[in-house]
Structure 1
């Protein structure tokens, strides 16, 4: 028996996993309670996502060796995979009780506590692991995640850099450090870091996606370069997993039947994307479409409950590989599959590379194409993507919706705006609640010119990274270098309560849109709260979204075609308090009567687009294969 186990272990260590599995099973056939065979076989089962079988093996190993902390620690990992975090925490505590100096057990406990939202306890667990093993790069990286989630970017940066120094080949610190640099407004530094990381980790789609997303924040990267970067992403990551020939779909070819529409998103929760996704799902005509929602993240809250209530089918893809997820979607016979994430956080674009549905569409969550040949269409409009201009920067066919590609649902019911702040204060207050990643040095320079030309005016910026003192100091220095005294700028951190966040617009007279990365949710929220938005029209989608929004409510005169015009529009508004006061009380009614709030009208135009896509696919793929 010992000889057979030793042979299995040797194959395992050499990477001959199939042979190792066969030999472990042979050992267990003769000795079902063999602790080490059960433990090692469970490791192989976990790698195959056969989690329940792995749990059973670990439990048999524990019964045979109840004082072996490492087996308990391994079990915690599988329980976490299964989402049984409460049970995993109890098992981790047993491992720690058996071996208080077991750094890996403290590390796993930290991961579990993070999942359970016990951030302070998770921080304690990671620090205990690092006291035992100061060279544990994974713990430094995850401790950095805790600091980052709390807005403490300075300490997060230190943790990530320590992890990178200790283990240069570990990719996660590079990804997260790139995010920290971006959140500090150091977009060029973030891009440079991610480009360096890609040289070391050329085959990591997530890292490559983060780089693509970061490119949109820089005013120095033209759209044709961004397009080439996306195309390269597709060639490197999507093309190798795309089957040729493509899968055979058995969907009925009936062109006018009820369509099965699937939405893939990590943001079926309290997220900016939900303010636009929920209206579409609510507005769908159920006699025309059957809705399937496929969450790709485990984030859940009250908004998630709303999504579940309005959709016909709900199936999480979080525990499936990309290939398995595509297979599941094909089994549901989805006709049109919509990606609502693109290359944003928690995205899963490779599900679409596997061609999960006959027609695949990109919309909403990402301000660009995907770079994949398997993504057929992208929903947009003629202002965000001018015909004949932006088509060449997409592999997808652009479908321009006549009344705009967005419909807005405020995250919370709030009372309308009150009195104009300028009349109360005696000075005009500009503001932007956009993520400060968008507030580049070029944006600071233009906004500073505006403050200098509007005497006594002030500027309020609100963004989560302003909780970090180093980030605050950096922005104060940027404005000071442009001639603006610190006391004219208020830098506010994130306001957790959504109602208080929206009421913060009561302090602002005029909202300033950043560039080249415009606001979307922030622009809609400002307008909803009675605050006009001044925007600078750019060349490609990311720099034209607010222009599209303003057009829907008849405020094209707030769209500038040059930085100087931007200043003139903002200065003109600041000098016309009567117009500001009128806008403050009429913007919400204007939105209510516009396409931005026409839930059913918006859904109808999207459904019409879906129907055209479906009929085109049917025409290209012949008669109904199910017909007699």
Structure 2
């Protein structure tokens, strides 16, 4: 019996009239299996000729969607384990492009143009196990081109699904989507679970479809598996006049030169970048993008007239002028030229009024020019007030304007979707505690309307060690540092093992490459990424991990995690938000509570879930990075400075009004605030709001801190901290106390708002807790007049923090572990070898 072929060809034959041309190329292969996908409308006489020429050919009928890529994904999923090498081709016509015939024939020539060429490609695979893809010379284009905004987010998302952290787009893909590949190199594609119904219906699109995305994604899939890609330019050259077609004289693009030029530009080497972009030959598909970059170089060098001429040439030569205008507009925005960005983005929108990505970029350009009202009106005029893709942007614009009623209305509209329910409720509760009780009741109504009935309980078994699963989003977050990391380090390994399920609401480099993330990778027993999974699939993964108790650390930040809890992913499920706020789901067995708020096992009036109380504060904080000598306080003659390092965009009107009153009552004092990650827009809003009430901008000072040294530098300037009247600012208040700076806090009107006051009380700082907003202003004023007393307190405050249960992470972990074992036994489980 002869050995089966090690090679397959996957051919999508939409244009059946091209069969005879393709057959001539296939004759250059010796032993291979042929898979041909066709639509239901395929000419039956052509199908007969296929089986006549290749009797073993497998013909697969497919729906006409996803071009050549959807059929390829279907066939490859079925045959990936049977072959070493695969050649992917299709009957390309490119009816929107006059050079389509020559384009196709050149592709075929490079991949299958002769028996010698086929032999060279297979020999290259055999000689180099790291070789994953071989594409046609002249068709490797840079991914970082004018169309990148259309693809960037989905490429990052797909990359995360195969374990690849995509932060740079300076790589090349094979335009035309024809190439040879080692079957193992593209195996990661199959983990994405892409099916034909995910592809758009065929409407003659020339860009921005899932098929176009995957065309750019194939080399990333190979990279994820440790494979590399080359093109056929490394083999013997084809004849000047290929046997199967005549040359059109267009030089192939040098894709490496384009990538190198972009890198020079990004490094700020303008002269070198100008020379490199100028070397991209006219007629190359990369040439319009090179012209655009030449314009950006001129713009960066402040040759404005030259820049506009080059931009005009790039747009005129681009096959998609609107996409090119958007690319130029976005790049101008990156360089800080907001008016030019507005001009080009506006022109892109004029050409394609529903070009959403250009609208969103234009909104950012308008925001930077203090024109949020125009941005908000522009979005709503183009898409309507309820278009789901603009809700988040509209909410941000409303927040910039201080229009909380609009923001609330948008969030309520979002909350009608089950996926956005929790996020909206969290935002609203943060911004206005006085309405939180009503909002929590809304949560119950939303949950009853949108979430399915609970699944049956999973069995509890006999365990020697309980397996505790933690669902976490951003690994660089305060939640990771203050809750997850201390537990991973200190839960008794003889009694527990741990599995971390990462399900982020954002995909960015900081979430996965931070020092915190690296530490937790080392100390957790198991890791599982849920980012690309829907709630059903995520619940299945968690169940298969045999997790006994699942702790959701994300609260409302990842609503799809709440849906996974509905599916009953673990026998016992706990939601750990900040204070005990309901998620209104029957399948959540407990929420982590605080002994100062409710008694053990009791429920809040609006909650479904009993509180899991630890006879301990609901969290303990590890502060290793500031267990150093306390910094010197400011000079005695420095103006008295109030301060808050919670990012300014979290501040409610109630809080800003109270701070205005504090400054009015204390002439000569200053207020230090933190822009956080919100930049100038939030700063302008706060300054405008306080200026309207008579507070001059000169009385404000600013830091931009999101972590680490920025926080500590900010505290060095503060004499008395001010906790916001709404929201949980306990962690930042604790950091301030560790730095020797006490804070004034209100008692809060909900459990969420009460946490900062409880934190101060546990530090023995009851004298800094105000029972109401009016008392808050009076209390801050009183302490501002007792500078000597504050200085005395600072001498011991840092050590008081370190002696508090709030920083006793070992005690907290022991209490938490004991509580988990107790509810396991209470639910009917058992523990081996326990007294």
TM-score, reference length from structure 2: 0.60
- Structure 1 residue 304, shift from structure 2 partner: 0.8
1:166 paired to 2:246: no
What is the match of residue 283 of structure 1?
490
Q: Structure 1, residues 4-29: CA drift from partner, whole Å, max 9, x if none? A: 934389xxxxxxxxxxxxxxxxxx99
CA distance in 2 between partners of 1:37 and 1:213 (Å): 43
The alignment status of 1:312 with 2:345, answered yes or no, reads no
Q: How does 1:162-561 map to 2 (within 5 A)?
A: 162=378, 165-168=381-384, 170-182=387-399, 185-197=402-414, 202=416, 204-219=417-432, 221-239=434-452, 242-243=454-455, 246=456, 248-249=458-459, 251-253=460-462, 257-271=464-478, 273-297=480-504, 298=507, 299-301=511-513, 302-344=515-557, 348-364=561-577, 368-385=581-598, 391-410=604-623, 412-413=625-626, 415-421=628-634, 423-425=636-638, 427-464=639-676, 467-469=679-681, 471-492=682-703, 494-495=704-705, 498-561=708-771
Aligned length: 580
Query: Per-residue displacement from partner, 1:65-114 (whole Å, max 9, x unpaired)?
Result: 47599x99999686675355489863558479xxxx966389969x99xx
CA shift in 2, pair 1:164/1:306, >3 Å = farther
Structure 1 residue 271: Cα displacement: 4.2
> 1 CA distance for matches of 2:462 and 2:362?
51
Q: Is the 8 A contact 2:736 2:743 kept in 1?
A: yes
Would the alpha carbon gap of residues 405 and 205 (structure 1) be closer, same or farther in structure 2, given more than 3 Å must change?
A: same
Q: Deviations over 1:103-135 (max 9, x none)?
A: 6389969x99xxx9x998998478489649643
Q: Which residue of 2 aligns with 1:570?
A: 780
Shift in alpha-carbon separation, 1:618–1:34, aligned structure 2, 3 A: closer
Shift of 1:560: 1.2
Distance in 2 (CA, whole Å) between partners of 1:182 and 1:421 is 34
Pair 1:82 & 2:162 matched: yes
Determine the structure 2 residue equivalent to 1:613.
823
Normalized per residue, which structure has more helix? Answer: 1
**Higher Cα Rg: structure 1 or 2?**
2
Asked if the contact 1:80–1:88 (Cα under 8 Å) also holds between the matched residues in 2, the reply is no
Q: CA deviation at 1:417?
A: 3.6
Cα distance, 1:287 vs structure 2: 1.3
Larger RCO of the pair (alpha carbons < 8 Å, separation 6+) = 1
Superposed displacement of residue 167, structure 1: 3.8
In the aligned structure 2, how far is the partner of 1:385 from the partner of 1:183? 37
Q: How far apart in 2 are the matches of 1:369 and 1:523?
A: 25
Q: What CA deviation, in whole Å up to 9, does each residue of 1:157-197 have, x standing for no partner?
A: 86676555434464232034324534665433211122245
Alignment check: 8 A CA contact 1:416 1:588 kept: no
Contact 1:341 1:365 in 2 (8 A): no
* CA deviation vs aligned residue, 1:406-426 (integer Å, no higher than 9, x gap): 11123734644434336240x
Mapped to 2, the partners of 1:601 and 1:553 lie a distance apart of 17
Distance verdict in 2 for CA 1:328–1:406, change over 3 Å: same
Q: Which residue of 2 aligns with 1:597?
A: 807
Tell me the SS of whatever aligns to 2:452: helix
Distance 1:590 1:511 in 2: 17
Report the secondary structure of 2:657's partner residue.
helix
Q: Deviations over 1:237-271 (max 9, x none)?
A: 3325x43xx1543x4245xx321100001022244
Structure 1 residue aligned with 2:24:
none
Contact 1:294 1:316 in 2 (8 A): yes
Q: Does structure 2 retain, via aligned residues, the 8 Å contact 1:383–1:544?
A: no
Range 299-308 or range 380-389, more displaced: 380-389
List alignment gaps of at least 5 residues for structure 1.
10-27
Tell me which moved more, 603-612 or 84-93. 84-93
Q: Distance in 1 between matches of 2:533 and 2:485?
A: 25
CA distance in 1, matches of 2:465, 2:774: 51
Structure 1 231/472 Cα, relative in aligned 2: closer, same or farther at 3 Å? Answer: same
Which among 140, 149, 165 is matched to residue 358 of structure 2? Answer: 140
Give the Cα separation in 1 of the matches to 2:677 and 2:401.
Answer: 7
**Residue segments in structure 2 that go unaligned for 5+ positions in a row:** 1-12, 17-36, 43-54, 93-102, 108-138, 144-149, 178-204, 218-223, 225-262, 267-292, 294-322, 332-343
Aligned-pair Cα RMSD in Å: 4.7
For the pair 1:104 / 2:104, whether they are aligned, the reply is no
Describe the shift of the 1:610–1:272 C-alpha distance in structure 2 as closer, same or farther (beyond 3 A): closer
The answer as to whether partners of 1:35 and 1:61 remain within 8 angstroms in 2 is no
Compute the displacement of 1:567 (Å). 2.4
Structure 2 Cα separation of the partners of residues 181 and 595 of structure 1:
40
Match of 1:13 in 2: none
Q: Deviations over 1:508-561 (max 9, x none)?
A: 011101122131332222122211111101232211111221122211221111
Identify the range of structure 1 (121-130 vs 543-552) with the bigger mean alpha-carbon deviation: 121-130
1:586 is matched with 796
Give the Cα–Cα distance (whole angstroms) in 1 for the partners of residues 723 and 76 of structure 2: 46
- Which residue pairs with 2:309 in the alignment? none
Q: Is the 8 A contact 1:38 1:60 kept in 2?
A: no
Superposed CA deviations along residues 311-337 of structure 1, whole A, max 9, x for unmatched, are 111111112221121112111211110
1:430-449 per-position Cα deviation (integer Å, ceiling 9, x unaligned): 01111223322221221122
C-alpha change, 1:46 and 1:423, in structure 2 (3 Å) is farther
